Amino acid sequence: KVVLDEFVKQRKPASKSVDVELEIVNGYMTDAELEKTVAKVCTMVNAESFDPESRKMMGMFTSMCWKDLLIECPNWVKRMKNPTVDFGKLAGLCNTRAKEHVKASGQ
């Protein structure tokens, strides 16, 4: 087998540096999805409104947001063409987004 010098020197163009984890969180953790999760938590604990001071409700909310994001995994993996993802960073961004949503909506 002969490998030509022109072939060896060919390289893929450098992909643009994209924060994959942030793009996933911004694309799949919409306000509507987060509101739906808030409603699920309120239903599960038989509460009329969401209490952000309740550690139980916040824990359930952030956990459910993370699980919902992972359920969407096949969609973003396919759309982004098998990206390399740091799941620790993704989980941190997910929790931050969930907490910011609760604070911003004044729940």
* Residue range 34-91, pLDDT digits in tens: 999 999 999 999 999 999 999 999 999 999 999 999 998 888 889 888 889 999 999 9
**How many C-beta atoms surround the C-beta of residue 98 within 10 A?**
23
Region 10-29 average pLDDT: 75
Phi, psi dihedral angles at 51 (to 5 degrees): -110, 105
Structural domain boundaries, residue 24: 18-105
Provide the 3-class DSSP secondary structure of residue 21. Answer: helix
Report if residue 8 sits inside a domain: no
Count the domains in the chain.
1
* Residue 19: pLDDT over 90: no
Report if residue 13 sits inside a domain: no
Report if residue 12 sits inside a domain: no
Report if residue 2 sits inside a domain: no
- Measured distance CA(34)–CA(26) in Å, rounded: 12
pLDDT value at position 25?
A: 93
pLDDT single digits (tens) 86-106: 999 999 999 999 999 998 877
Residue type, 106: G
Report if residue 9 sits inside a domain: no
- Measured distance CA(79)–CA(107) in Å, rounded: 33
Task: Name the pLDDT band for 17 (thresholds 50, 70, 90).
Answer: low
For residues 7 and 87, the model is more confident at: 87
CB-based contact 69:29 (threshold 8 Å): yes
